[in-house]
Amino acid sequence: MTLYRDEAVVLRTQKLGEADRIVTMLSREHGRIRGVAKGVRRTMSKFGARLEPGSHIDVQLHVGKTFDTVTQVEAIMNYGELLTEDYQRWTIASAILETAERFTAQEYEPALQEYLLLVGGLKALTENIHDPSLILDAFLLRSLAIGGYAPSMTICSRCEKPGPHRYFSLVGGGSVCAECRPSACATPAPETLSLMAALLTGDWASADSSENRNRREANGLIAAYLQWHLERGLRSLPLVERV
Ligand SMILES: [Zn+2]
């Protein structure tokens, strides 16, 4: 009997048969994994509420032919439960969980950076020190960066001419100079690009002092940029309430 143990965050669950669930998780060492939790939908389940989306857990699985089976779960922190009472933060948590799944294309491929980003993002949301909308945008930008798609906020992403430039390409690498700009371009305020750079590098002092209009513009640019880089759009992103 082959067992393995890891720390993980529950990304999603699906019903399986009468009483079971398939649980999709992003784990520290094994990347994205799926396990069957048997009897989890019965009221007396030994797993309790520990396998809900947003739960940070210590989990043990038994390797199976089609699916691994969850054999033990210990709660580390149930971020999902902490966030359910606040609609905006819950929808942001959902968008973060969905993004983490989409940016880990292969199961069992270690994705430590994305895992740490995920845990950090959920923790920041529950601490509620920063605007939740900024936390989401920082998470999206950094997930893009881990995937190798970080948009340029200064130099031209095509010819590398030093910036900042007036144009931002939504279907390319971000900032572009006047000579290189494609037809689908935005012309964001320079402060919006500075905000995005601050979110990408974790400069929260700058990000927290940004103005609402720049936050809104950054939201739009990041969402459009992300939707273009993912094959299918994120289902949960349009549900996020931006204040
Ligand atoms: Zn250029």
The least confident of 1-10, 39-48, 159-168, 188-197 is 39-48
pLDDT single digits (tens) 113-158: 999 999 999 999 999 999 999 999 999 999 999 999 999 999 999 9
From residue 55, give the alpha-carbon distance in Å to each of 60, 76, 112, 118, 149. 15, 8, 17, 11, 28
Distance in Å, CA 188 to ligand 1 centroid:
17
- Residue/partner pairs of 231-239 with CB below 8 Å, 24 or more apart: 234/95, 234/98, 234/99, 234/102, 235/98, 236/91, 236/94, 236/95, 236/97, 236/98, 237/95, 237/98, 239/91, 239/94, 239/95
- Say what the pLDDT of residue 233 is: 80
Residue pair 93/119 in contact by the 8 Å Cβ criterion? no
Q: Which residues contact 68 (CB under 8 A, 6 or more apart)?
A: 33, 34, 35, 36, 61, 62
pLDDT value at 1 more than 70:
no
Give residue-wise pLDDT tens across range 57-88: 999 999 998 889 999 999 999 998 889 889 99
What is the Å distance from ligand 1's center to 192 Cα?
A: 20
What spacing in Å lies between the alpha carbon of 233 and ligand 1's midpoint? 28
Distance 219 CA to ligand 1 centre (A): 24
pLDDT value at residue 47: 85
The number of beta carbons lying within 10 Å of the beta carbon of residue 161 is 15
> Which residues in 25-53 are b (16+ Cβ under 10 Å) and which e?
bbbbebbbbbbbbbebbeeebebeebbbb
Q: Are 229 and 209 in contact (CB under 8 A)?
A: no
How close is the Cα of 198 to the center of ligand 1, in Å? 23
Q: How far, in Å, from the CA of 184 to the mean position of ligand 1?
A: 15
Distance 165 CA to ligand 1 centre (A): 9
State in Å, rounded, how far the first CA of the chain is from the last one: 51
How far is residue 146's CA from residue 131's CA, in Å, rounded to a whole number?
23
How far does the centroid of ligand 1 lie from the alpha carbon of residue 73, in Å? 52
Ligand 1 center from residue 153 Cα (angstroms): 13
Distance 237 CA to ligand 1 centre (A): 31
- For ligand 1, the distance from its centroid to the CA atom of residue 161, given in whole angstroms, is 6
Looking at the predicted structure, is the pLDDT value of residue 229 above 80?
A: yes
Distance of CA 74 to the CA centre of its chain: 23
Whether omega for the bond prior to residue 151 falls within 30 degrees of 0, making it cis, is no
- Tell me how far the alpha carbon of residue 156 lies from the centroid of ligand 1, in angstroms: 5
pLDDT of residue 22: 96
If you measure from the C-alpha of residue 203 to the centroid of ligand 1, how many angstroms do you get, rounded to a whole number?
27
Ligand 1 centroid distance, CA of 154 (Å): 11
How many A from CA of 30 to the centre of ligand 1? 40
Mean pLDDT of 102-118: 96
Average pLDDT, the chain: 93
Q: Hey, is 32 helix, strand or coil?
A: strand
